[in-house]
Structure 1
Amino acid sequence: STFLQRAYDQIVHDVCLQKLNVVFAMDRAGLVGDDGPTHHGVFDIAYMRALPNMVCMAPRDEAMLPAMLRTALTYDDGPICLRYPRGEGVGVTVPPPAELQAIEIGKGEVLREGSGVALIGYGTGVQKALEAADLLSEHDVDVTVADARFAKPIDLELMKRLAADHELLVTVEEGVLAGGFGSAVWEALNDAGAELPKILRIGMPDRYVTHGKPALLHREVGYTGKAIAERITAEIGAPQLA
């Protein structure tokens, strides 16, 4: 992710302008740990989704990663990119290659139904959203959790339904907030003329993050299930977590 930044001019002129069928597989997306601020891949959501003809997607776990790679390799209408983190997966079973199915472009999915609050994760943000939902459920706050899967094109119908059915939308992404996935959700709803609920965006701070183990850095920037749950309880006026 971070080293693709130096090739941005080539992406714009040599790929997107010509609408070439190129797959960008961006590893080390998000906070990568001890490699430090030069290696944190926190800008690619913003800089890739800004480009015409580009499709942007991110898997929530190691099972969805090969499915998205299959999707990218079979997509034939221009460039497409997928971002995924460095390190271990979350521990789910990866289906054999023969069972892999391409994902419909621009379609997200609801993983958990609740009320009042909807968390919309992108990439690793989905697992953080699920962790937050588990903590909130222990305090009788049952929330909806959705996996956007795509930052561009965004699943507008899903976003409109979530906006209509909930008082608070919470977007969760391991990238900068300026121009990121949360911005994409707000823009899509606003441009569609939807009635906007309150939107809380969770992501990386507007500063360079130092080096350290990813788990430590996630706590430092508030990118944990507990930190997200605490921000939600503060927003809705519910009792703080113990």
Structure 2
Amino acid sequence: MLKPILYKEWIKTRWYFLLAILVSIGFTGYSLLRVNRVIGLKGMEHLWQVMLERDVIFIDLQMYIPLIIGILLAIVQFVPEIQQSRLKLTLHLPYPHYRIIAVMLLYGILVLLVCFVFNFIFMSVYFIGILAGELVKHILMTALTWYIAGFTGYLLTAWICLEPTWKRRILNIVIAVCVLRVFFLSAVPEAYNSFLPVLIGYTSLTVLLSMLSVYRFKTGQQD
């Protein structure tokens, strides 16, 4: 039963998956071109000086990209389930309905993971060639918070999409905006390092919110 569910999700999202990888790598590549431009105009010493003295990491353009990719993936994956009444049919399959939703969410998380890992590898390979390990870690740890926000945005949007009533859906949107705002309260590089375990824990718990929406759907909650 798992294979048909995963295949169905792949059919829905395969083109978006390709687009997400291209867009995310495109923004990453553009950020790295900015670094190349600084090196070409003012030299490597200036790059190091700016990073050390001004705490500039040169990848700020990517701050909201993982979040946008996560939110759009959830919309592509779950809105058709609601609009075309597929969810009702899906939950009548001879398989535990909470497990079905868990598999769908796991698929989305894996898609995001592949997309984000590509970016991390791209950035790591480039920066390792020109910067000290401490500076590379400084850049990647700063970006990690943004990528965790991408997973959180995906799970919260899935929760909103699966909610059967519009009144509760609007409330969920307000809650989601407040939660996601936490990831962007500070623009200081590595400001969230000590808070990352908490953010990862809360992100993991947001999976349960979708199960709550499914429960409300199964019990016949309506607008």
- Give the TM-score normalised by structure 1: 0.28
Higher helix share: 2
Higher strand share: 1
More RCO (CA 8 Å, sep 6+):
2
- Give the TM-score normalised by structure 2: 0.30
